[in-house]
Amino acid sequence: MKRCAALHQSLRTFWNISHAPQKIICKSTVLNQFSQFRSQYSTHIPASGDISGKQAITEPLKHPDFFKVRQLVSVKDLYNNRVHFGHKDGSRNEHMQPYLFGNRLGTDIFDLDITIDHLHRALNFVAHIAYLKGIILFIMKSQQFGHAVETTAMTCGEYAHTRDWHPGLLLNMSEQGGQIRLPDICIFLSLQDAVNQQHLAVAECGKLKIATVGICDSNVNPTMITYPVPGNDDTSESIDLYLRVFQQAIQIGKQKRLEYDRQLQPKGVASF
Amino acid sequence: MSVAGSRLHRLGSVYSRTKDLIQSKVLPYEERPIWYDVYKAFPPHREPVYKPQSSPNQFGLVDVEDTVRPILYNEDWVRANVYGNPAFSNLNGKKISSLFVGPQAKNYQEGANFCHRFILKFEELKKTHCDLNNEDLFRLAEKEMIEIQDENQ
């Protein structure tokens, strides 16, 4: 009789699980995986007290090019991927003038020597943030490149926002409920939201102490972007180049961090 | 949100605002943003302080100095005459490009590279015929290009 009861109970639990609404199971499993993944990558390093953590932060900062991001992209790559094309001179923003090489028959041309320097700086910054386990958010309001941006963010374990930006999305923290962590930096692949309008997230990042990296075409205002990269943001080739390069920089940063964490761990303990 | 912050994003840069908050001890140094040390070690070329675009005057015009130079080459004169003005051509008012570009071109390669090949021919003739002026050189190059096309056909 005892056996029978146990069997009956186990059968009942099985029945419950298998007949539970499928949505709930999916959501919970996904959330579990998600939280596991984040626990690996996004825990803040204690800024004081832990000596090993401190050393991990300060050591790469002394090196001029710790992650070797300068090898990722050259001027020729930029030229072949049409980064030098700007907009027509009528739509030029006055603050983009120092980044321009000249004007060829009405079309602005970027100076790629300036662009490569800014891009290397931005890549170094992004790699450092990935090394420090910060959250990176890719932002681009575009129907054409939205999917590419989202897949790139997914492959390097970060986040993307490519849809309509609801005003105050980052600012209404109190209304969201629960524990929410804001992104540490935002990467803008295009600064334009609609036609001739700056992306709303630029101002929100400024309010919330979030540093920004942004691709600035010749018709946008680059002054509020922390690490601006002057370049074309309208062709698929150039966007592919930016995505590839940023993804590699993030992956290099994370890989270096994993290696460092493994060195610190005592032997015999499984790393998770 | 418990962390202190300034929501005036147009005054100063994101770095200077954070630095001031830390200096005035509103924001503890331990709770500084993750990018703060990286920014300190590798600062950007220009501090990201917001600058508005200069507003138009009463006539709707913006008074900004245009410092961007035009990009022009020596061979632009030839290029313009190949595609545009038929004044220097002796083909009864026809453009030289009309013989090569479009349905007349045998293949895409020929049409696409025609202007470039014409310029190369022009430069070649310029070295051998020093006494001729540009218009005569253009006619000579035109004649030779048509001859080459006839040979190929």
CB A225 within 8 A of CB A202: yes
Nearest by CB to residue A209, choosing from B14, B64, B69, is B14
Q: Which carries the bigger pLDDT value, residue A34 or residue A230?
A: A230
Consecutive H or E run containing B102: none
Whether A198 is in a domain gets the answer: yes
Asked whether residue A183 is assigned to any structural domain, the reply reads: yes
Categorize the per-residue pLDDT at A63 as very low, low, confident or very high, splitting at 50, 70 and 90. Answer: confident
The Cα of A11 is separated from the nearest Cα of chain B by a number of Å equal to: 47
Is B51 in contact with A221 (Cβ distance < 8 A)?
yes
Q: Give chain A's domain count.
A: 1
Q: For chain A, what percentages of helix, strand and coil (3-state, to nearest 5) are there?
A: 50, 15, 35
Report yes or no: A229 and A216 within 8 Å, Cβ to Cβ: yes
Helices (H), strands (E): how many in chain B? 5, 0
Closest-CA residue to A148 (of A237, A66, A220): A237
Q: Ranked by mean pLDDT, which of A13-17, A259-263, B34-38, B88-92 comes out on top? A: B34-38
Which pLDDT band, with edges at 50, 70 and 90, does A239 fall under? very high
A61 with B15: Cβ contact below 8 A: no
Average pLDDT, chain B: 81
- CA A61/CA A43 separation, integer angstroms: 20
**Collapsing DSSP states into helix, strand and coil, what is residue A51?**
helix
Question: CB A97 to CB B68 under 8 A?
Answer: yes
Mutate to test the interface with A, among B1, B20, B34, B63 (most CBs of A within 10 A): B34
Q: Decide: helix, strand or coil at residue B30.
A: helix
Q: Say what the pLDDT of residue B35 is.
A: 93
CATH number at residue A81: 3.40.50.10490
What is the domain partition of chain B in residue ranges?
1-51, 76-152
b/e burial code for range B50-66 (CB count within 10 A of at least 16 → b):
beeeeeeeeeeeeeeee
ipTM value greater than 0.85? no
**Residue A26 scores a pLDDT above 60:** no
Nearest to A232 by CA among A189, A203, A195: A189
Among candidates A103, A210, A224 on the partner chain, residue whose Cβ is nearest the Cβ of B68:
A103
- Which residue of chain B has the CA closest to A42? B34
Residue B149 C-alpha, separation from nearest chain A C-alpha, in angstroms = 31
* Residue that wins the pLDDT comparison between B29 and B104: B29
Q: Compute the distance between CA of residue A189 and CA of residue A213 in angstroms, rounded to an integer.
A: 8
Residue A31: count other Cβ atoms within 10 Å of its Cβ.
10
Is A232 a member of any domain?
Answer: yes
Collapsing DSSP to helix, strand or coil, A159 comes out as strand
Shortest Cα distance, chain B CAs vs residue A13, angstroms: 42
A213 belongs to a structural domain: yes
How do A159-161 and A107-110 pair as beta strands?
unpaired
Domain that holds residue A127: 51-264
Note whether residue A1 is domain-resident.
Answer: no
Q: Choose from A226, A229, A250, A257 for mutation: most chain B CBs within 10 A.
A: A226
Contact B37 A61 (CB under 8 A): yes
Residue A246 lies in a domain: yes
Q: What is the pTM of this model?
A: 0.79
